[in-house]
Amino acid sequence: MPEIYIGLMSGSSLDGVDAVIADLDFGQVLLIAHLHQPFAAELRAELLALNHPGGSDEMRRAALAANELACIYAAAARTLLARHAIEAETVHAIGCHGQTVRHQPADGYTIQLVNGALLTELTGIAVVCDFRSRDVAADGQGAPLAPAFHQAVFASGAVHRVIVNIGGITNLTNLPTSGAVTGFDCGPGNLLLDAWIQQHLKQPFDSDGAWASSGCVIPELLARLLSDEYLCRPPPKSAGRESFNLDWLMNRLGGGERPADVQATLLALTARGIVDAIENFCGGAEEIYVCGGGARNSALVELLSQQLAPGKVAATDALGVDARHVEALAFAWLARQTLNGEPGNLPAVTGARGARILGAIYRA
């Protein structure tokens, strides 16, 4: 019998929810169905506002946003089930990441908005959410959590691989042929690229890096961006919109730069963050596989291929998992870990005191 789970992921790009149905029987990961549900502009604006301190009645607004997210997540799950004639009763659980609005592990907390109880009520399916808090309670970063999934699905005893997830923030997983699996958030991914093009061209993202390719890298600006303390810090470490945002960029601009040149420089920043992380902490890597939204940015992938040669650079599609669905599948897998009483974190990645069973469970 198939072992069906649903994975729901909405990341720091704030573009919407990625939903998957997967069969995880015998530890395999078989994608059955998927969809992407964009966020309405009003919700995206509210979530972006909640990422920053200030504003009135934040607690009420956050609670209402969590309810709205639960409704969107539930609708995505129900749509997938209906399209593929799968009964809710056959689903073991939903693994829901929720929407990060604050990530402050140094202060002992991380907040991913979702009303898990409401999501269970709306779907009739058990929900596992709040995955990051237990790791933070154990003095970990609470992120990234995908490396345990990457290890289970992509590791090879014959080839040293690195998995690079380019979402709003970029994280990587180092999968050597022997020894500990490591990983960390290595800097901005799509977040700054999206914010800059939205501000100047009113487009949601830079398709294939076309706008960046029309500009020229500004060496002095790139050097200022790369000198940020976070990028120079050794792992374990994790980042969010608190670390990299449009204000962060504006404070580093000299004034008068051509917008297309800034976009080109931001593309170079994303690539250099990845390349430096691999060269400094993943020595000997032979194959680099990219997933997340950035895997579809051909200009970025080409830049990585040039800078990481002779290493092979390809999307995780080459390993049988569509690059668009890796993170949502990871949270379906993490939900299975939780229900089976098995750890979901890797202490060598997050810096936690030890392996921990992650997440809060809302039984159907």
pLDDT band at 353; cut points 50, 70, 90? very high
- Name the domain count of the chain: 2
Instruction: Determine the average pLDDT of the residues in 334-345.
Output: 98
**Same-domain pairing of 130 and 154:** no
Closest CA to 78 of 129, 123, 128: 123
Instruction: Determine the average pLDDT of the residues in 284-295.
Output: 97
Domain residues for 172? Answer: 146-323
Percent of the chain with pLDDT over 90: 96
pLDDT band at 289; cut points 50, 70, 90? very high
**What is the predicted pLDDT for the residue at 28?**
87
Q: Could you report how far apart the first and last alpha carbons of the chain are, in Å?
A: 21
Return the minimum-mean-pLDDT range out of 27-31, 33-37, 154-158, 299-303.
Answer: 27-31
DSSP class of residue 317 equals G
Q: Which residue has the tokens 């993202």?
A: 205
Measured distance CA(151)–CA(21) in Å, rounded: 20
Token code pair at residue 68? 């709205």
**Same-domain pairing of 227 and 344:** no
**Same-domain pairing of 168 and 71:** no
**Same-domain pairing of 217 and 344:** no
pLDDT band at 252; cut points 50, 70, 90? very high
**Same-domain pairing of 182 and 288:** yes
Q: For 99-130, how does the pLDDT look when each residue is reduced to its tens digit (9 = 90+)? A: 999 999 999 999 999 999 999 999 999 999 99
**Same-domain pairing of 258 and 274:** yes
Q: For 26-75, how does the pLDDT look when each residue is reduced to its tens digit (9 = 90+)? A: 878 999 999 999 999 999 999 999 998 888 999 999 999 999 999 999 99
**What is the predicted pLDDT for the residue at 26?**
80
CATH number at residue 30: 3.30.420.40
- Position 263 pLDDT exceeds 90: yes
Distances in Å between the alpha carbon of 267 and those of 204, 205, 220, 273, 343? 16, 12, 15, 10, 36
**Same-domain pairing of 252 and 170:** yes
**Same-domain pairing of 198 and 330:** no
**Same-domain pairing of 153 and 291:** yes
Q: For 133-152, how does the pLDDT look when each residue is reduced to its tens digit (9 = 90+)? A: 999 999 999 999 999 999 99
Q: Are 136 and 100 in contact (CB under 8 A)?
A: no
**What is the predicted pLDDT for the residue at 54?**
82
Burial class (CB in 10 A: 0-12, 13-18, 19+), 131: buried
DSSP class of residue 289 equals E
**What is the predicted pLDDT for the residue at 189?**
97
**Same-domain pairing of 128 and 38:** yes
**Same-domain pairing of 123 and 201:** no
**What is the predicted pLDDT for the residue at 55?**
81
DSSP class of residue 30 equals E
Q: For 7-23, how does the pLDDT look when each residue is reduced to its tens digit (9 = 90+)? A: 999 999 899 999 999 99
- Please, what is the angle between helix 326-339 and helix 146-154, to 10°? 100
**Same-domain pairing of 46 and 137:** yes
The radius of gyration computed from the CA coordinates of the chain, to the nearest angstrom, equals: 19
Closest CA to 306 of 283, 284, 274: 274
- Indicate the average pLDDT of the chain: 96
Return the minimum-mean-pLDDT range out of 26-40, 204-218, 267-281.
Answer: 26-40
Instruction: Determine the average pLDDT of the residues in 179-198.
Output: 96
Q: For 220-238, how does the pLDDT look when each residue is reduced to its tens digit (9 = 90+)? A: 999 999 999 999 999 999 9
**What is the predicted pLDDT for the residue at 1?**
80
Closest CA to 51 of 238, 193, 198, 241: 241
**What is the predicted pLDDT for the residue at 75?**
98
